[in-house]
């Protein structure tokens, strides 16, 4: 699989009160993950199954996931309560 890009639903993000600087943060997170994914692919090869195994074991991927979750939790999700999560 060789994706050519990522489409970000800006309407969904603005409904969660994202501002311009927040979109920059999203781009930075995507860039970090792309760099890590390229490095994983270089080691694991082109097979998706091998990439998935390597990505799931990657401490860098786990760190980015934690950063994304922390960032996303700082924005309200319209129609959902995050209390108790």
Higher pLDDT, 70 or 85: 70
Q: Categorize the per-residue pLDDT at 67 as very low, low, confident or very high, splitting at 50, 70 and 90.
A: very high
Q: Residue 50 has which token pair?
A: 């091998």
Number of other residues whose CB lies within 10 A of the CB of residue 40: 20
What is the rounded CA–CA span in Å between residue 24 and residue 19?
9
Residue 6 vs residue 69, higher pLDDT: 69
What is the value of pTM for the model shown? 0.79
Q: Which stretch of DSSP H or E encloses residue 38? A: helix 20-44
pLDDT of residue 9: 81
Domain boundaries, the chain: 17-73
Coil, strand or helix at 83: coil
The answer on pLDDT for 45 being more than 80 is yes
Alpha-carbon torsion (66, 59, 57, 35), positive or negative:
positive
């Amino acid at each position: 699989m060789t994706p050519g890009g990522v489409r970000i639903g800006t309407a969904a993000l603005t409904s969660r009160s994202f501002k311009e600087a927040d979109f920059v943060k999203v781009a930075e997170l995507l860039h970090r993950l792309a760099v890590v994914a390229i490095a994983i692919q270089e080691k694991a090869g082109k097979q998706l199954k091998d990439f998935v195994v390597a990505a799931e074991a990657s401490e860098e991927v786990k760190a980015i996931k934690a950063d994304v979750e922390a960032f996303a939790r700082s924005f309200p999700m319209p129609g959902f309560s995050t209390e108790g999560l």
